[in-house]
Structure 1
Amino acid sequence: MSRLGSYFIFLGTLFRNREKLRVYLGLILNECVSIGVGSIFIVALVNTFIGAVTCVQTAYNLTNPFVPKNIIALIVRDSTILELAPTLSCIVLAGKVGSNIAGELGTMRITEQIDALEVMGINSSSYLVLPKVIASILMFPLLVIMAAFLSILGGYIAGTLAGVISPEDYVSGLRFEYKPFGVTFALIKTVVFAFLISTISAYQGYNVRGGALEVGSASTSAVTNSCIAVVAADFILTQLLLT
């Protein structure tokens, strides 16, 4: 059986023989803290500087004196909302959250903790993986909203301090021809990315066989495969929703 087929079979096991809802609530809250709160710093730092760099580089390339300065803010806004905040943030989260999920489940597999759950009659994939998937779907959009805000703010701070754009022009550019669907599109992408990253990473870690070396390989594969899935899904969703 192909790895893609076994991946879809693994997804099906998440929804069989589930525990009671109250059992999952505590697990989901713990995962929300681990995935969401634990990722705030890296997501905030990366996106703030990305917004700053985008603003300065855009200003550097706009050499035509007939192009209004507020176009700089418009480019920062649209590139941030449509692409940089959701896609770049999720690639960063694939490295942090994805490797953590794969490493945690892989360690549980080689230390036979997953086998112990199965012996007790618990559906280990649903018990261990489903809370991580739900928490990712809940927390990734919140992180991306924060990322978009900080990226635009970073562009504002860098642009005004560097003198490439005035505060008035920046605010004017942010308001110019604003399309609200951009935010909806970014959140749709983020939910899809969250599902892909969490399930692919869980699949890699859950199916580890061997020892510590294999756990490390599974974490590497989880990040690599998640990033590939994110960029592929990004292209497909863009074709479906923006054309």
Structure 2
Amino acid sequence: MFYLQQIGAYFLMIKEVFNRMTKPSVLRKLILKEIDDLVINSLGIVAFISFFIGAVVAIQTALNLTNPLIPSELIGFASRQSVILEFSPTFISVIMAGKVGSFITSSIGTMRVTEQIDALEVMGINSLNYLVFPKIIAMLLYPFLIAISMFLGILGGYVAGVYGGFVTSDEFITGLTDDFTPFHLVYSFLKTFIFAFLLATIPSFHGFYMKGGALEVGKASTTSFVWTTVAVIMVNYIITQILLS
């Protein structure tokens, strides 16, 4: 019953976010700041993890090709499929639930503790629109981050496979382009947009409605990470079942 009430409150928050819009000139500055905080500042960690996970996928695939009848091109094929279908959109989103989600929850939660949100309400500002709407718009650039992750993941697989002596450059590229299905990209970016919305709104919900002091801000950040991760995994399963089954 408690969880149903939480879900109901979440959807009511989403509805309120799009009511009583803040002035466009103010929103523009807020959106640019959120893009820098949520997307640009995440480029480093996403690039680092993507490159080396792509390399690990290629190496593990190569080490499991013990049958000489299996062509080496499979290393490039497996790297592409793993990175595009699951690793970049889903695994990176789980990581971002920790990085971006904790940042959003702690920043809004701190404003709640220090009564800055109450001050916004007193001034007649829709605090949900002021705080959450710019984050949702900023996270529309999240697929751009995932596209970079896909590129670097495949690049990492190429570097590890070719320079590790597991596969030739021509064989890897042949596997990379073999039996490519463009719809897989549509599938990946569609769920990436949904993940972006979840990454912006679920942490905001836990930060906005938290009660207590500084200690509760930390607890709210942990809770938001857990529930954002659960939501990402469940939505990933549902979308995969609908679009790829």
Residue 139 of structure 1: how far off its partner (Å):
2.2
Q: Identify the residue that residue 28 of structure 1 maps to in structure 2.
A: 31
Cα distance in structure 1, aligned partners of 2:149 and 2:211:
37
Matched, 1:106 2:106: no
| Aligned residue runs from structure 1 range 63-212, under 5 A | 63-136=66-139, 138-212=140-214
Cα distance in structure 2, aligned partners of 1:49 and 1:224:
25
The SS at the match of 1:6 is: helix
Cα distance in structure 2, aligned partners of 1:85 and 1:73:
16
Deviation track 1:82-115 (CA, whole Å, cap 9, x = no partner) reads 1001001111111110000000000000100000
Residue 24 of structure 1: how far off its partner (Å):
1.3
Q: In percent, how many aligned pairs have the same letter?
A: 46
Deviation track 1:152-209 (CA, whole Å, cap 9, x = no partner) reads 0000001112111111100111110111111111111111011112100000000111
Is the 8 Å Cα contact of residues 35 and 139 (structure 1) preserved in structure 2? no
Residue 23 of structure 1: how far off its partner (Å):
2.3
How many matched pairs? 242
Cα distance in structure 1, aligned partners of 2:189 and 2:96:
15
Structure 1 stretches of 4+ with a deviation exceeding 4 A read: none
Matched, 1:6 2:9: yes
Is the 8 Å Cα contact of residues 98 and 198 (structure 1) preserved in structure 2? yes
- Runs of 5+ consecutive residues of structure 1 not aligned to the other structure: none
Is the 8 Å Cα contact of residues 35 and 97 (structure 1) preserved in structure 2? yes
Deviation track 1:110-169 (CA, whole Å, cap 9, x = no partner) reads 100000000000000011111011111x22101100000000000000111211111110
TM-score normalised per structure 2: 0.97
Is the 8 Å Cα contact of residues 75 and 161 (structure 2) preserved in structure 1? no
Q: Identify the residue that residue 225 of structure 2 maps to in structure 1.
A: 223
Cα distance in structure 1, aligned partners of 2:231 and 2:150:
22
